Amino acid sequence: MLKKSIQISVISLAILGFTGCHKRTITVHPGESSTQRRVVVPVTQEPQIQEEILLGRNSRTGKNPTLGRRVSVPRNNPSIGQSVSNNGETSGSEGETPTDDTAPLEDKFMERMPFPVEEYSHVKKRGSSTVSGRIYLENSYNSEKVPGKKLKLWLNPVTSYSRQWYQESYLGGYKLSKTDSRLYNYLKFTYSNADGDYHFYGVPAGDYYLTGTMSCGEECGFSERKSVRLVKEISVGRGTTKVDLMKNVP
């Protein structure tokens, strides 16, 4: 009996010695109790990507998410879909000219934004107000006022579509792609008389860009004849709104 017990003890010690020389693999299953050993495996985190909100034109791509894509155009192509006659009148619907001395185009071109149909559905086409005034250029050397005789003037409702034209074309000097023909349904135009006086009738109350183009030479202080674009943002209320459309030159 004693001999048998000694044999069992020796076998047990041999087994324990063998297992102690080897690493044990512990498999952890979900739902195991908190008393069991837990194996923590480090997790490699994905690199974080920082998103950037573009508030203006992207300097690398030249793309503005609101206003369109800008590309260069040859200097020998000064106009897009319009022409300037000898008296300075343009065929463009917004009175755009490629020779505005106050806003050089610098070979820049921009695509127009899509026509905002929903926005224009709220723009009134008829009203009862009047807009009157005079269009002229004032020579800054001698204060002479040169009237715009028999010129075409436009009233363009202020919308996101026309604001792009005002900011990027008139102020920024960019040439814009062709105007959407649906804009014509919302424009009003008239002609000045021999003294430069003009009148718009049946105008709905609201905000507008008043636009005209004059051709002027030595009488305006220029060394040669130039076409000058005049634009003014106005607010029309009830009755008659008096507005002079003018610019100091040269």
Half-sphere exposure of 180 (CA within 13 A, CB side): 15
Per-residue pLDDT tens over the stretch 26-83 = 444 444 444 444 444 444 444 333 333 233 344 444 444 444 444 333 333 332 223 3
Does the residue 203 lie in any domain?
yes
Closest Cα to residue 96, out of 247, 227, 235?
Answer: 227
Residue-number span of the structural domain to which 76 is assigned: 64-117+124-249
How high is the pLDDT of residue 108?
81
Query: How confident is the model over 6-33, as pLDDT tens digits?
Result: 555 545 554 444 444 444 444 444 444 4
Percentage, residues of the chain above pLDDT 70: 57
CA distances from 187 to 54, 92, 183 (A): 33, 12, 7
Note whether residue 35 is domain-resident. Answer: no
Cβ-in-10-Å burial (0-12, 13-18, 19+) of 197 comes to middle
For residue 37, tell me if it sits in a domain.
Answer: no
197 belongs to a structural domain:
yes
Q: In this structure, is residue 208 part of a structural domain?
A: yes
Provide the whole-model pTM.
0.60
Q: What share of the chain is helix, strand, coil (3-state, %, to 5)?
A: 20, 30, 50
Considering the domain boundaries, does residue 10 fall inside one? no
17, part of any domain? no
Q: Is residue 31, in this structure, part of any structural domain at all?
A: no
Tell whether the model's pLDDT for residue 247 goes beyond 90. Answer: yes
Distance between CA atoms of residues 160 and 100, nearest Å: 23
Which CATH number do you get for residue 104? 2.60.40.1120
What's the average model confidence in pLDDT over 79-90? 33
Residue 78: the pLDDT is 30
Give the total number of structural domains in the chain: 1
